[in-house]
């Protein structure tokens, strides 16, 4: 566990594409299919207990903001863009033009770019051995396609104070708050654990 410094895990931080154009050009190529580390990480994601999973996710985010499609596919191949599809496909400026044309033809609010032009990726049918997570949502930065907020909707809320203690003993430089949900917060991301009901807003 916690081997993100390895070159073999750079697939997690692969640069995103807009219509076949790399957004950030400092990317190096990687071998997705021949990557044994990917398979090992997928086992950790799917088979570890909940505490270890959260610590692994914190470590992943501390190393850098992962791409939503790379992280999503470790949990399940059943994921989709439920808001902001045009942005995720074409980039922000092109998507706005597409939106204007689409709404001119089909009506206002029909292009899926409401709520501040935010992209939301949802993972359903999360493949966890313990079946503790019902769904995952990711709020994605519209410019870089990196994950800003990762929401883990659990079937049964764990002891959040105990989880806070476990995370805090392994990572002493992040902010953890507990209420009816647990939020792990750093300068560039948040990991939020909450019970599966309508998404709560801060």
Could you read off the pLDDT of 67-125 as tens digits, one per residue?
A: 888 999 999 989 888 887 777 776 677 767 777 777 788 777 655 554 455 788 999 89
The predicted pLDDT at position 30 comes to: 43
**What are residue 80's DSSP bridge partners?**
122
Residue partners of 62: CB distance under 8 A and separation at least 6: 171, 174, 186
What's the pLDDT band for 9 if we cut at 50, 70, 90?
confident
**Domain map of the chain by residue range?**
79-123
What lies within 8 Å, CB to CB, of 174 at 6+ separation is 58, 62, 167, 184, 185, 186
CA atoms of 78 and 73, how far apart (whole Å) = 8
Predicted TM-score (pTM) of this structure: 0.79
């Amino acid at each position: 566990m916690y081997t993100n410094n390895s070159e073999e895990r750079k697939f997690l931080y692969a640069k995103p594409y807009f219509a076949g154009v790399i957004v950030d050009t400092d990317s190096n190529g990687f071998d997705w299919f021949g990557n044994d580390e990917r398979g090992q990480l997928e086992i950790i994601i799917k088979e570890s207990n909940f505490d270890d999973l959260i610590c692994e996710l914190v470590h992943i985010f501390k190393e850098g903001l992962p791409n939503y499609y790379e992280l999503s596919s470790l949990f399940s191949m059943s994921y989709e863009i439920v808001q902001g599809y045009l942005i995720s496909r074409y980039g922000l400026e092109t998507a706005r033009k597409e939106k204007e044309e689409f709404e001119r033809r089909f009506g206002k609010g029909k292009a899926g770019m409401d709520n501040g032009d935010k992209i939301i990726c949802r993972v359903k049918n999360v493949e966890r051995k313990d079946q503790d997570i019902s769904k995952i949502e990711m709020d994605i930065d519209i410019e870089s396609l990196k994950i800003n907020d990762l929401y883990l909707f659990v079937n049964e809320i764990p002891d959040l104070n105990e989880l806070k203690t476990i995370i805090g003993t392994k990572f002493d430089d992040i902010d953890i708050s507990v209420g009816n949900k647990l939020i792990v917060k750093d300068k560039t991301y948040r990991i939020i654990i909450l019970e599966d009901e309508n998404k709560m807003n801060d």
